[in-house]
Amino acid sequence: MGSDYVTHPPDMLGVIYTDVTITNNTDVPIKQLYLTMLDEVGRATHNYGYFPEDSTIAPGESVTLTSFGADELTPIRLTYSFYLDDVEYDMEYDFTLDHYQQLMPIRRA
């Protein structure tokens, strides 16, 4: 999975919002994906889900989650599901936006 982001200036309350674009650079269609903000010990604090209208994110296709409440250093977990040979698989990656190029899987189900 590839990723790119745009961080917006803080709003009137000082909250930073980021638009995150995720590209499916796998060989299989993605069924759904979630971005989850994590606290300092890895617990989920906010979830942002994306469910494609046509039921999949095709290989090479990108989706953008707007106003994601994370800055470059916020720990994030990317979770996505896909089917391969009629079996559903889930993948998870932990990363920060400033190191998104180094996505490494943490769990395969």
The CB density around residue 48, as the number of other CB atoms within 10 Å, is 17
Cα 22 from Cα 89, distance rounded (Å): 18
- Look up residue 75 and give its amino acid: P
- Across the range 9-17, mean pLDDT stands at 77
- Which CATH number goes with the domain that contains 28? 2.60.40
Q: Which two tokens stand for residue 105?
A: 């899987």
pLDDT band at 102 (very low <50, low <70, confident <90, very high): very low
Structural domain including 72 reads: 2-108
Global confidence as pTM: 0.65
Structural domains of the chain, count:
1
pLDDT band at 66 (very low <50, low <70, confident <90, very high): confident
Please identify which residue in the block is written with the tokens 């040979």.
85
